[in-house]
């Protein structure tokens, strides 16, 4: 298996004019879970292995410390495995919703093929909800031709995130392509019946989670609040290079994980092992991941 940086790292390197490795190839896949009156389907987009070199994970610890955490979980100590997945929500009358869009075809993302496996055409998508504007979450909002990949969809992200995204040089092409589709929202807004934005800032200035509810079923899409199902949970105080506000990112990660461990609410984490649904469980001074399918 080929090693690669996370998509946001690859995007940053490419923007800076450096060559960056691409994702590990995956097979398109769509996996649906029961969720009240709704259907939630995880769509596979890509996999990555982030090198354990002190530059991405555990930047205020050491590669040896990160390796120890990985090996205690039964993983090799030289890299941190990550997925890139997208959440599809069906069952809201008249709506087909995507939360995030993965890497995009130019970076090798498989979202469109996975969406086809779920029986959905891009033109049928009515709403695209963006957690934040890093390339591994917004890259797929445009197609290989540089035009909107979901031409009939409204694209929603927080007002603060949209303002920040427009100021990022590496996002210019995407911003120009989707400008006419974007409808920013205020933090905490209810966007659709059963879907509410949850501000979880720190990773980016306007980063948003999404709480999905149907009857007694509840799920929180945590976006990039936590990246690794092992390292980010075992040591939530360790910084990650791509939090724009590292102090706030740590504080929000600590707060969100503590609450989720207490409520035992179902969680969707787009960088956790596919399909990315499960629960946060307290484990000593940190937490561990309990996949929903095990």
Q: In the chain, where are the structural domains located?
A: 7-291
Token pair listed for 136: 């591994």
Between CA 20 and CA 95 the distance in angstroms is: 37
CB atoms within 10 A of CB 157: 28
Distance of CA 229 to the CA centre of its chain: 12
DSSP state of 253: H
Between CA 88 and CA 44 the distance in angstroms is: 11
Residue ranges, the chain, pLDDT below 70? 1-22, 294
pLDDT score recorded for residue 25 = 78
pLDDT score recorded for residue 196 = 98
Between CA 25 and CA 23 the distance in angstroms is: 6
CB contact at 8 A, 277 and 267: yes
Token pair listed for 238: 């360790």
CB contact at 8 A, 231 and 50: no
- Please enumerate in sequence order all residues whose Cβ is within 8 A of that of 134, keeping only pairs 6 or more positions apart, or say none: 7, 8, 11, 204, 224, 242
- Please enumerate in sequence order all residues whose Cβ is within 8 A of that of 176, keeping only pairs 6 or more positions apart, or say none: none
Between CA 221 and CA 277 the distance in angstroms is: 9
How many residues are listed for the chain in this entry?
294
Token pair listed for 72: 């205690």
pLDDT score recorded for residue 22 = 54
- Report the C-alpha dihedral over residues 166, 17, 250, 78, rounded to 10 degrees: 150
pLDDT score recorded for residue 5 = 38
CATH, domain range 7-291: 3.60.15.10
pTM: 0.93
């Amino acid at each position: 298996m080929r090693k690669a940086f996370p998509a946001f790292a690859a995007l940053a390197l490419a923007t800076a004019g450096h060559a960056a490795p691409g994702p590990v190839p995956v097979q398109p896949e769509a996996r649906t879970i029961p969720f009240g009156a709704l259907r939630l389907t995880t769509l596979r987009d890509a996999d990555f292995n982030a090198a354990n070199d002190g530059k991405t994970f555990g930047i205020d610890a050491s590669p040896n410390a990160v390796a120890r955490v990985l090996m205690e979980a039964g993983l090799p100590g030289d890299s941190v495995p990550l997925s890139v997945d997208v959440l599809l929500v069906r069952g809201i009358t008249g709506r087909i919703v995507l939360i995030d869009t993965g890497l995009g075809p130019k970076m090798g993302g498989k979202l469109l093929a996975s969406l086809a496996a779920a029986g959905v055409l891009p033109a049928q998508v009515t709403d695209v909800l963006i957690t934040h504007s890093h390339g591994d979450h917004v890259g797929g909002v445009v197609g290989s031709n540089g035009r909107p990949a979901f031409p009939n969809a409204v694209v929603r992200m927080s007002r603060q995130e949209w303002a920040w995204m427009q100021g990022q040089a590496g996002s210019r092409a995407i911003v120009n392509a989707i400008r006419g589709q974007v409808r920013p929202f205020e933090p905490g807004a209810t966007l659709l019946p059963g879907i509410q934005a949850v501000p979880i800032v720190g990773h980016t200035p306007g980063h948003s989670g999404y709480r999905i509810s149907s009857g007694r079923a509840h799920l929180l899409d945590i976006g990039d609040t936590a990246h690794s199902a092992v390292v980010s949970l075992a040591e939530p105080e360790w910084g990650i290079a791509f939090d724009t506000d590292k102090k706030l990112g740590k504080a929000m990660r600590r707060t969100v994980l503590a609450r989720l461990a207490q409520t035992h609410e179902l969680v969707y984490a787009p960088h956790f092992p596919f399909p990315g649904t499960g629960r946060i469980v307290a484990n000593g001074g940190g937490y561990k991941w309990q996949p929903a399918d095990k």
